[in-house]
Amino acid sequence: MRRRLALLALAAVCLLAGCNAFLGGERPDPASDQLGWENGTWHDDPLQVTTEDGLNASERAAVVARTMARVEEIRGLEFEEPVPVTVISRAEYRRNNSDSGNGGAYGEWNNQVWEALFLVGEDRNVSAAFDSTLGSSVQGYYSPSKDEIVIVSDAETPTIDRTTLAHELVHALQDQHYGLGGNPEFQDTQLAHRGVTEGDATYVQKLYERRCGDRWRCLDRPDRTTAGTDSDFDRGVFVALYAPYAAGPRFVAERQQAEGWDAVDRLYERYPNSTEQLIHPEKYPDEAPVDVSIPDRSNGQWERFDLQRPAHDVVGEASIYAMLRATGQADDGAPYEYEHPLSSGWGGDRIVPYRDGDRFGYVWAIEWDSRRDARDFERAYRAVLDERASRQPGTDTYVLPESDPFGDAFRVTRTGTRVRIVNGPSVESLDGIHG
């Protein structure tokens, strides 16, 4: 009788105070660590925490322990060690990550890659575009170098979003079992690898949410800023960076539902090698990208960048889709589908930036699966130039005005299944870059 009165009293306090106190039984601790149990907490244990005033240290520890147990229960992998969790405000995140990109020769080289995609113009740099876009959209992150999770809170009183915490805990679990932190050379391969890590984490996050209110009692989710409401948010850059979060979960879910979590585990031994394989799972693992070569036809005035990494990049299908979205050529349908007739025929590409002192240009060659795919992309690309050009001195040559963020000269040619784009600051420079 006393226990029943105590529970009723606690329920009344929670109703008045607006706390999330979940009532229920508790199982004894297991003799040794096992799936679904972490740090004295089972995945279906009740929690007595107050969320309206944030979480104190003991409440945060309890929430983290139970979420770890729940991630284990879903993913079927055991955490090997505790994971520290820190909560910071969005303002603090922006301060800590402002101007965090690479400068110098790499920054100048990378600017040309994103300029070729019509996503970052000459009026700014890639680092600033990333900072403003991620500063508006990041909800949390896991740092492999520090083995810790940082949650970004939009509330005045720092709180933890249950889905963000679950997502980032999956990354910690991945790091403990497979190791994270490596970074492939090319943009397309980076996004493809992240399609596995982010796809796995996002898929588990969705499974977690399905159990809330049905099999599990879950903490209320705090209000948060919606990505895209900030004036500095760049939709085009975001579409390129978001590909692993959109295409990745579909890619992972298909394998898990067909063959179980063992099939997902094997992806860490053989990552997809292109975003094409993420977007079109039937092409994994057999259809590899074409290795596109670009012979150096520059004169003595123009030269390729001398970097410690390859002097070229591969942007891939997802980034080309983002370019087509940003330029209005693929604005039919949802922005995060990534499968579109104008980009789905991608077979491989290569961008080679060039420099002449403080002047820059690039050569971009794209191989397509068929002549029709190449022709359709060429027409869409020329439509972008036709809309923006101030003059067209030749059939294949376009000049954009200086007032345009992408105000350069362009030469566009197609041979069979290959489209080649040469860019430079003037018509005369095009032959100097790629004669």
What confidence tens digit (pLDDT) does each residue in 7-52 have? Answer: 333 233 222 233 333 333 467 888 888 999 999 999 999 998 877 7
First to last CA, the chain: 91
Helix (H) or strand (E) holding 102: none
Which residues are 351's β-sheet partners? 313, 364
Q: Around Cβ 150, how many Cβ atoms within 10 Å?
A: 19
Instruction: Sort strands 85-89 and 148-153 into parallel, antiparallel or unpaired.
Output: parallel
The two tokens of residue 379 are: 């027409």
| Residues lower than pLDDT 50 in the chain | 1-25, 226-229
The sign of the CA dihedral 35, 39, 43, 45 is positive
Distances (CA, A) of 215 to 20, 43, 44, 202, 261: 17, 10, 8, 19, 21
Q: CA 132, CA 151: separation in Å to the nearest integer?
A: 18
Flag whether the pTM goes above 0.95: no
Q: CA 27, CA 135: separation in Å to the nearest integer?
A: 42
**In the chain, domain spans:** 303-433
pLDDT of residue 26: 65
pLDDT of residue 56: 85
Which residues 6+ apart lie within 8 Å of 62 measured at CB? 41, 47, 49
- Residue labelled with tokens 């991608």: 346
Q: CA 372, CA 123: separation in Å to the nearest integer?
A: 35
